């Protein structure tokens, strides 16, 4: 038999360095990193992509990406991305932010980046708590969810109900693509990859702001087994944060 | 060269554009609103970008983004807005990102008032934000000097990878003067081989700011402090700027900066006319502060009067400079503007 040309059907995306992940067992970040890198590979744009990371578990992700990389102050990634993208309009720029970073301390920056229709993409990882600092309540923490600052469970009577950030952002004209996806099973991984690709396309077409919220496992702070954390997303998070494309005004 | 009549705030804008600054991020606050208004009009003509940010907090982080791309970027604000930016200024300094920040000082702590003052000297020169960083602080005293120093600021920012803070105030910002808009030639600058502009598949990825220059997290912050100390010594050697007025035979010395120094100059002329041997040291770099020359002048003069539109802030640096020598007193005023007569009266008191 002649030596057949080998075709790569599956493997590590080139944009991913291959440095072993040091996230907690079962954490969703590694899955999301991979999906982002797959899409960048597909576009062949690693050399022209700049990643802008918020504060949280995301801020230790620098060894995993073969990309130029900017670390920002807590909540300010959308402002940094604004300044960067305005001065480097041909670059593919994404911010990578958690729910505390984006939904609490950085809520003004994300809303106004969307409001101005900034041409970058936000990967918004929602795991319903502040993971890096040890599992405190986030704006996205579920009602009744026990965290280190809601030891009796989140009580909406005095700490509010889960903030539906993507729904809020979808009301803003400058936001052209808003989707909520998940990484708890294979089907959701496929949908998430598709949404990331679409969000990057919206950016590259210069149409406006795009964001993909991704429900992500945090078994360590949820204090459950990694395998159970996937079911936890489906049973507890998805009823509050339904998956789907909340807004798609691309190509318009 | 023909001169043009412009305000101090407009001179900030003209100076920045002349220096090749293409990015301005701002937020309205009195008494510097003329700068964002000017930039919204003039930046597009110069092929640049103006963004009105949602807050000073966002604005300082936008400049961080443009600086990461290696671009010359400017931000202006006033006292309370500058306080909001302190975390961002600290982050810019930590990441060694060059940029220029202007504080057109207004009055008082908290929300304060919109009148002129020099109440932010200590905030400007002694840190302002957290974590032990340094930046250069420049204090012009005329509209021409604002225009010139703005250009110099961009050069110094790029030369040393530093945040340059320019301190002006409501008087200087609103004042109209004829200026000559000359481009100030720059020396050689190091390449911006740290900018995160995409690796183009031709080099290793870069990151800003942590782990710069191969430090590990364990030795990074000690190394940062060591570098800051070295840089401080270098700035003391290479970048001191100050102006002396009739100090050769001065028996009485004024020390003042910015708009106060400009007013004091008239008082000195009047006193000299009456035979009082008074001179002035005007620091232009407030950081690095001209300690050595101030010490010599304070020692040579019989009496020194520090004049500031504050309750006494720069006087701390003058006392540090003097190292216990000389006879140093203070005259300050906040809420109303100094007149030359006010300062002249103080000189007469000093001499009697």
Q: What is the pLDDT of residues B306-340, one digit of tens each?
A: 999 999 999 999 999 999 999 999 999 998 899 99
The fraction of chain A above a pLDDT of 70, given in percent, is 98
pLDDT of B223 reads: 85
- Whether A184 is in a domain gets the answer yes
pLDDT of A7 reads: 84
**A70 inside 8 A of chain B by CB:** yes
Residue B212: pLDDT above 60? no
Tell me if B207 and A48 make a contact (CB, 8 A cut-off): no
Tell me if B71 and A46 make a contact (CB, 8 A cut-off): no
Contact present, B294 and B241 (Cβ < 8 Å): no
Task: Give CA torsion, residues B163, B257, B168, B273, to 10 deg.
Answer: -150
> Where does residue B242 fall: left (phi above 0), alpha (psi -120 to 50 degrees), or beta otherwise?
beta
Q: How many CB atoms are located within 10 Å of the residue B218 CB?
A: 8
Tell me if B68 and A71 make a contact (CB, 8 A cut-off): no
Contact present, B238 and B187 (Cβ < 8 Å): no
**B44 inside 8 A of chain A by CB:** no
Residue of B43, B44, B57, B65 to mutate for A, most A C-beta atoms under 10 A: B65
Cβ-based contacts under 8 A for chains A and B: 125
Could you tell me which chain A residue has the CA closest to the CA of B210? A71
Contact present, A214 and A39 (Cβ < 8 Å): no
Tell me if A69 and B197 make a contact (CB, 8 A cut-off): no
Confidence grade of residue B220 (pLDDT, cut at 50, 70, 90): confident
Q: What CA–CA distance (Å, rounded) separates A104 from A107?
A: 5
Candidate from A46, A86, A91 with C-beta closest to B23: A86
For the segment B88-95, the average pLDDT, to the nearest whole number, is 95
Residue of B61, B89, B98, B197 to mutate for A, most A C-beta atoms under 10 A: B61
Nearest to residue B192, comparing CAs of B179, B208, B177? B208
pLDDT of B258 reads: 98
Residue A198: pLDDT above 90? yes
- Whether A24 is in a domain gets the answer no
pLDDT of A1 reads: 53
Contacts of B67 in chain A (CB under 8 A): 83
Least reliable range by pLDDT among A227-241, B117-131, B202-216: B202-216
Residue B231: pLDDT above 70? yes
Contact present, B92 and B60 (Cβ < 8 Å): yes
Residue of A80, A120, A204 to mutate for B, most B C-beta atoms under 10 A: A80
- Whether A1 is in a domain gets the answer no
- Whether A240 is in a domain gets the answer yes
pLDDT of A219 reads: 97
Candidate from B58, B66, B210 with C-beta closest to A112: B58
**B69 inside 8 A of chain A by CB:** yes
Tell me if A83 and B63 make a contact (CB, 8 A cut-off): yes
Residue B185: pLDDT above 70? yes
The secondary element (H helix, E strand) that includes residue B306 is strand B303-308
pLDDT of A8 reads: 77
- Looking at every residue in chain B, the average pLDDT score rounds to 95
**B71 inside 8 A of chain A by CB:** yes
Residue of A51, A64, A68 to mutate for B, most B C-beta atoms under 10 A: A68
pLDDT of A65 reads: 95
Give the structural domain span for A129: 29-248
Tell me if B198 and A91 make a contact (CB, 8 A cut-off): yes
> Where does residue B3 fall: left (phi above 0), alpha (psi -120 to 50 degrees), or beta otherwise?
beta
Residue B123: pLDDT above 80? yes
Nearest to residue B271, comparing CAs of B347, B350, B352? B347
- Whether A217 is in a domain gets the answer yes
Per the structure, the count of domains in chain A is 1
Residue B213: pLDDT above 70? no
* CATH code of A231's domain: 3.40.50.970
H-only helix segments in A76-225: 77-87, 99-100, 107-115, 156-159, 165-170, 186-204, 219-222
Tell me if B68 and A48 make a contact (CB, 8 A cut-off): no
For the segment A170-196, the average pLDDT, to the nearest whole number, is 98
- Whether A169 is in a domain gets the answer yes
**A72 inside 8 A of chain B by CB:** yes
Q: What CA–CA distance (Å, rounded) separates B16 from B10?
A: 10
Nearest to residue B165, comparing CAs of B142, B198, B135, B123? B135
| Eight-state DSSP code of residue A7 | -
Q: Could you say which residues from 101 to 160 on chain A have a Cβ atom under 8 Å away from some Cβ of chain B?
A: 108-109, 111-112, 115-116
Residue B236: pLDDT above 70? yes
Residue of A43, A79, A84 to mutate for B, most B C-beta atoms under 10 A: A79
- Whether A125 is in a domain gets the answer yes
Contacts of B207 in chain A (CB under 8 A): 62, 68-71
Contact present, B54 and B81 (Cβ < 8 Å): no
Contact present, A76 and B58 (Cβ < 8 Å): yes
Nearest to residue A84, comparing CAs of B45, B57, B51, B102? B51
Tell me if A82 and B54 make a contact (CB, 8 A cut-off): no
Contacts of A116 in chain B (CB under 8 A): 51
Candidate from A73, A81, A87 with C-beta closest to B87: A73
Confidence grade of residue B1 (pLDDT, cut at 50, 70, 90): confident
Q: What CA–CA distance (Å, rounded) separates A13 from B172?
A: 57
Residue B214: pLDDT above 90? no
Q: Would you state the structure tokens that stand for residue B114, as one six-digit string?
A: 């919109």
Residue of A86, A102, A109 to mutate for B, most B C-beta atoms under 10 A: A86
The secondary element (H helix, E strand) that includes residue B65 is helix B56-68
Contacts of A52 in chain B (CB under 8 A): 65
Tell me if B68 and A66 make a contact (CB, 8 A cut-off): no
Q: Would you state the structure tokens that stand for residue B167, as one six-digit string?
A: 């301190």
Residue B178: pLDDT above 70? yes
Q: What CA–CA distance (Å, rounded) separates B218 from B208?
A: 17
pLDDT of B217 reads: 64
Strand B73-77 to B23-26 pairing: parallel
Contacts of A70 in chain B (CB under 8 A): 65, 68, 196, 207-208
- Whether A201 is in a domain gets the answer yes
Task: Please tell me the distance in Å from A123's CA to the nearest CA on chain B.
Answer: 18
Confidence grade of residue B205 (pLDDT, cut at 50, 70, 90): very high
Candidate from B73, B91, B198 with C-beta closest to A73: B91
Chain position carrying tokens 């100390």: B229
pLDDT of B222 reads: 85
Task: Please tell me the distance in Å from A33's CA to the nearest CA on chain B.
Answer: 16
- Looking at every residue in chain A, the average pLDDT score rounds to 96
3-state secondary structure of B119: coil
For the segment A217-240, the average pLDDT, to the nearest whole number, is 97
Confidence grade of residue A229 (pLDDT, cut at 50, 70, 90): very high
Q: Which domains does chain B have, with CATH numbers?
A: 3-180 (3.40.50.970), 242-351 (3.40.50.920)
Q: What is the pLDDT of residues A68-116, one digit of tens each?
A: 999 999 999 999 999 999 999 999 999 999 999 999 999 999 999 999 9
């Amino acid at each position: 038999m002649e030596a057949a040309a080998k075709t790569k059907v599956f493997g590590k995306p080139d944009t991913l360095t291959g440095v072993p992940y040091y996230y907690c067992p079962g954490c969703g970040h590694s899955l999301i990193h991979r999906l982002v890198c797959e899409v960048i590979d597909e576009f062949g744009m690693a050399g022209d992509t700049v990643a802008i990371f918020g504060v949280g578990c995301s801020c230790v992700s620098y060894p995993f990406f073969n990309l130029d990389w900017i670390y920002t102050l807590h909540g300010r990634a959308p402002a940094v991305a604004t300044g960067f993208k305005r001065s480097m309009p041909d670059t593919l720029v994404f911010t990578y932010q958690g729910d505390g970073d984006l939904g609490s301390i950085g809520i003004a920056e994300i809303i106004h980046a969307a409001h101005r229709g900034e041409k970058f993409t936000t990967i918004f990882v929602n795991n319903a708590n502040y993971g890096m600092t040890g599992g405190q309540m986030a704006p996205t923490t579920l009602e009744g969810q026990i965290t280190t600052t809601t030891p009796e469970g989140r009580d909406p009577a005095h700490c509010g109900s889960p903030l539906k950030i993507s729904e809020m952002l979808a009301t803003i004209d400058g936001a052209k693509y808003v989707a909520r996806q998940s990484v708890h099973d294979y089907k959701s991984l496929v949908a998430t990859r598709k949404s990331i690709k679409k969000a990057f396309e919206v950016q590259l077409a210069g149409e406006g702001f795009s964001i993909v919220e991704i429900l992500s496992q945090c078994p360590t702070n949820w204090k459950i087994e990694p395998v159970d954390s996937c079911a936890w997303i489906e049973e507890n998070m998805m009823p509050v944060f339904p998956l789907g494309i909340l807004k798609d005004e691309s190509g318009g | 060269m023909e001169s043009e009549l412009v305000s101090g705030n407009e001179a900030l804008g003209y100076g920045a554009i002349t220096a090749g600054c293409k990015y301005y991020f701002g937020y309205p606050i009195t008494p510097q609103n003329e700068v964002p208004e000017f930039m919204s009009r003039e930046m597009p003509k110069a092929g640049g970008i103006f963004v009105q940010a949602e807050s000073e907090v966002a604005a300082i982080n936008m400049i961080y983004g443009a600086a990461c791309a290696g671009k010359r970027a400017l931000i202006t604000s006033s006292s309370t807005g500058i306080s909001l930016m302190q975390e961002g200024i600290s982050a810019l300094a930590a990441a060694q990102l060059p940029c220029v920040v202007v504080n057109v000082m207004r009055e008082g702590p908290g929300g304060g008032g919109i009148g002129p003052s020099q109440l932010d000297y200590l905030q400007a020169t002694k840190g302002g934000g957290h974590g032990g960083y340094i930046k250069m602080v420049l204090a012009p005293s005329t509209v021409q000097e604002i225009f010139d120093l703005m250009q110099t600021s961009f050069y110094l920012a790029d030369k040393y990878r530093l945040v340059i803070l320019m301190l002006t105030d409501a008087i200087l910002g609103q004042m109209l003067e004829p200026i000559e808009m000359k481009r100030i030639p720059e020396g050689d600058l190091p390449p911006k081989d740290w900018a995160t502009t995409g690796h183009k598949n031709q080099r290793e990825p870069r990151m800003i700011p942590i782990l710069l220059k191969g430090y590990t997290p364990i030795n990074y912050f000690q190394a940062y402090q060591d570098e800051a100390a070295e840089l401080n010594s270098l700035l003391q050697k290479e970048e001191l700027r100050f102006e002396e007025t009739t100090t050769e035979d001065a028996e009485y010395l004024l020390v003042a900066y910015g708009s106060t120094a400009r007013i004091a100059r008239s008082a000195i002329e009047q006193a000299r006319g009456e035979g009082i041997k008074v001179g002035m040291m005007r620091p232009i770099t407030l950081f690095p502060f001209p300690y050595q020359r101030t010490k010599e002048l304070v020692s040579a003069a019989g009496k020194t009067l520090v004049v500031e539109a504050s309750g006494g802030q720069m006087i701390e640096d003058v006392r540090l400079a003097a190292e216990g020598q000389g006879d140093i007193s203070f005259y300050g005023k906040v809420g109303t503007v100094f007149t030359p007569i006010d300062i002249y009266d103080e000189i007469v008191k000093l001499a009697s």
